[in-house]
Amino acid sequence: MNAKWLIAPIAAAALFVSGQASADLDLAKKSGCLACHSVEKKIVGPSWKDVAAKYKGEADARDLLISRVKKGGKGVWGPAPMPPYSPRVTDANIEKLVDFILAL
């Protein structure tokens, strides 16, 4: 197969993924998440890459994290509490954010 034919689909997929990540980060910023979290490094709360690594392969990770974002919590990543984000952030947006984090 000629490699030239693979370039366009790969480039299109990369742009889609990049665009989706940008949209997810915009949602995180609008929701207030970036005040305490970042993708790469710990701020007040853990980095999202650390969260994704901790829960990788756990069947109930998505439901657990959605619940924690909605209700808040403390003691999982240290003494700083995470405030509840529901109902200020819609359930659908919380699910999008958790899916983004777990995909890292």
CA 35 to chain centre: 14
pLDDT digits 0-9 by tens, 17-29: 445 667 888 999 9
Q: Which of the four pLDDT bands, split at 50, 70 and 90, describes residue 12?
A: very low
Please report, for the chain, the start and end positions of each structural domain, with discontinuous segments joined by +: 4-102
Answer for the pair 86, 94: CB distance below 8 angstroms, yes or no: yes
Q: Which token pair is 10?
A: 């790969």
The CATH architecture annotation of domain 4-102 reads Orthogonal Bundle (1.10)
- CA angle, residues 9, 11, 15, in degrees to nearest 5: 115
pLDDT digits 0-9 by tens, 80-93: 999 999 999 999 99
pLDDT digits 0-9 by tens, 17-69: 445 667 888 999 999 999 999 999 999 999 999 999 999 999 999 999 999 99
For the entire predicted model, the pTM comes to 0.78
